[in-house]
Amino acid sequence: MAPPRALRPNIVLAGFMAAGKTTVGGLLSGLTGMPLEDTDEAVERRAGATVAEVFASRGEGTFRRLEAEEIRRAAVPHGAILAVGGGAVVDPANVEALRAGGTIYLLQVDAAEAMRRAGGGGSRPLLVGDAPAVEDLYSSREAAYRDAADVVVPTEGRSPEQVAEHILMDFARRHAGERHED
């Protein structure tokens, strides 16, 4: 009896808030037919509240616990595109689960560009505030982002479409010749 074929690996999009994970994930989903799963959205559905509301009413610790549970659920290889929250890869257990299920792409954006893209929106509770605080948050996560990434994808000067195409070409190259269950 032949061993079972591998399950389809996931494309995991990680990076700082407003790096473009959900936007690029949607484009990749359209190009590949792979479903997009956003862990922040999964937490919101489960909590019955927005990320900002969970932070405000239940605290960051509760959010991180819910996020870790959703990551463990979603990380199983099943041919999906996973967009994870900006702080998800700070937790080594999350990185281990995500890496076991696919390839982690870091969408690289600096703090100033993230603030510009977010436009001060209240949907990102840790991006609201002054620039030095956002810079400090970015700096505190930078090493974790680098360590988690299988591939670093610079986004500056690239359209979301170009970023998606870059990821798709890399992913196809990495997984060429693999057989998967349908």
Q: Residue 30 burial by CB count (10 A; 0-12/13-18/19+): exposed, middle or buried?
A: exposed
Kindly tell me if the per-residue pLDDT of 123 is higher than 70: no
Has residue 180 been placed in a domain? no
Going 69 to 98 to 128 to 42, the CA torsion angle's sign is negative
Has residue 1 been placed in a domain? no
Q: What is the CATH number of the domain that holds 38?
A: 3.40.50.300
Has residue 182 been placed in a domain? no
Has residue 181 been placed in a domain? no
pLDDT of residue 30: 97
Q: What's the pTM value of the predicted model, to 2 decimals?
A: 0.88
Q: How confident is the model at residue 181 (pLDDT cuts 50, 70, 90)?
A: low
3-class DSSP state of 153: strand
3-class DSSP state of 119: coil
Has residue 179 been placed in a domain? no
pLDDT in tens, 126-166: 555 577 888 888 899 999 999 999 999 999 999 999 999 99
Has residue 5 been placed in a domain? no
Compute the chain's Rg from CA coordinates: 16
Neighbours of 78 (CB within 10 A): 17
DSSP letter at 109 equals: -
Contact predicate 9/95, CB 8 Å: no
Has residue 178 been placed in a domain? no
Residues spanned by the domain of 53? 10-172
Q: How confident is the model at residue 105 (pLDDT cuts 50, 70, 90)?
A: very high
Q: Which residue has the higher pLDDT, 113 or 14?
A: 14
pLDDT in tens, 38-95: 999 999 999 999 998 999 999 999 999 999 999 999 999 999 999 999 999 999 999 9
Q: How many domains does the chain have?
A: 1
Has residue 114 been placed in a domain? yes
